[in-house]
Amino acid sequence: MGIEIRKVGAEGLPQYETVPIRFLVETVYRVVELQQGLGGLALVEEKVNPPYVKDYDRQSSPDARPTSWPAHLDTRHWGFFLALDEELPVGGGTVALHAPDVHMLEGRKELAVLWDIRVHPDLRGRGIGSQLFRYAAGWARDRGCRQLKIETQNVNVRACRFYARQGCRLGAIHRYGYAGCPDVAHETMLLWYLDL
């Protein structure tokens, strides 16, 4: 398998969206308060019984799907990337920058956000995600960004391990980050950072 990473415009998002973003949740990180939080927070991995499938595209509102991003967000400066195996999309990544409507950017010009990264479930573990991540980080660095920010959740242990392997550091544990979203209010927001 020879994977090519290709930058595409918004016209490539229908192809991008064909790559599923589902995964099996077998373990989660439970947040443990140390001294009622004054001693910090710890993440303890626990098995889930029974395991379940989380599918971001199916659980998200229709305007959260990749093809709808340009209609709802200022994506003029964003980078969309496809991982292709002989023209077949097997992965995708998106970097957001210089978008005043994305609060994750904190109003910082030198910060980029890895908005989305996905690899077809049948092809995970083959280095495609690492290729996409390195490409996306390099693209952001080439545009003057000094840091890359990534959001994931405590139910995505595999993603957490992936970001740690890429050199990211856990910068924040936001236990109530999804309190306003009933379907995922039980999840904890984890924010990772990579210095570029």
The b/e string for 120-135 (b: 16+ C-beta within 10 A; e otherwise) is beebbebebbebbbeb
Q: What is the CATH number of the domain that holds 172?
A: 3.40.630.30
Q: What is the mean pLDDT of the chain?
A: 94
Query: CA–CA separation, 193 vs 114, rounded Å?
Result: 10
Q: What is the DSSP string of 24-58?
A: EEEEEEEEEESTTTTT-EEEEEEEEEEEEEEEHHH
Q: What percent of the chain has pLDDT over 90?
A: 87
124: DSSP letter: T
Its domain, for residue 96, covers 3-195
Q: State in Å, rounded, how far the first CA of the chain is from the last one.
A: 29
The token pair that represents 83 in the structure block: 């991982």
Does the structure show a pLDDT above 80 at 60? no
pTM: 0.94
Count of domains observed in the chain: 1
Q: What residues have CB less than 8 Å from 175, skipping those under 6 apart?
A: 31, 41, 188, 189
